[in-house]
Amino acid sequence: MLSTIPIDLDEIDKGNIDKEILRAGIIAELDAVNLYEQMASLTKNEAIRASLLDIAKEEKTHVGEFQALLLQLDQEQADELERGKREIEEMAGK
């Protein structure tokens, strides 16, 4: 993603704008997690590696914050998230 919103927010129904903003935020944070973890795996400098991994962990918290807000606004998303969790638990035999 790297600083580009993947959708044209002007074309989104105003009733869904907040959900789309949160989804774009989730995408951006996941993109940052991937970038920082990949860079951490490349560096030989332990201080840089530790810093990148710490920042990646913070970005994961941001994902959780955006997701919590999204689940408050989108009941279908909440229901499907729970359905996906149950499906995985069934496949794993739990």
Confidence at residue 15, expressed as pLDDT on a 0 to 100 scale: 84
CB 26 within 8 A of CB 66: yes
Whether residue 23 is contained in a domain is answered as: yes
Whether residue 6 is contained in a domain is answered as: no
CA distance 57 to 67: 15
Whether residue 10 is contained in a domain is answered as: no
Domain that holds residue 34: 16-91
The total of structural domains in the chain comes to 1
| Cβ partners under 8 Å of residue 77, min gap 6 | 19, 70, 71
- pTM, rounded to two decimals: 0.84
Whether residue 3 is contained in a domain is answered as: no
CA distance 94 to 27: 30
Whether residue 54 is contained in a domain is answered as: yes
Amino acid at 16: N
Confidence at residue 84, expressed as pLDDT on a 0 to 100 scale: 96
The single residue listed with the structure tokens 């229901």 is: 79
Taking only the tens place, the pLDDT of each residue in 44-87 is 999 999 999 999 999 999 999 999 999 999 999 999 999 999 99
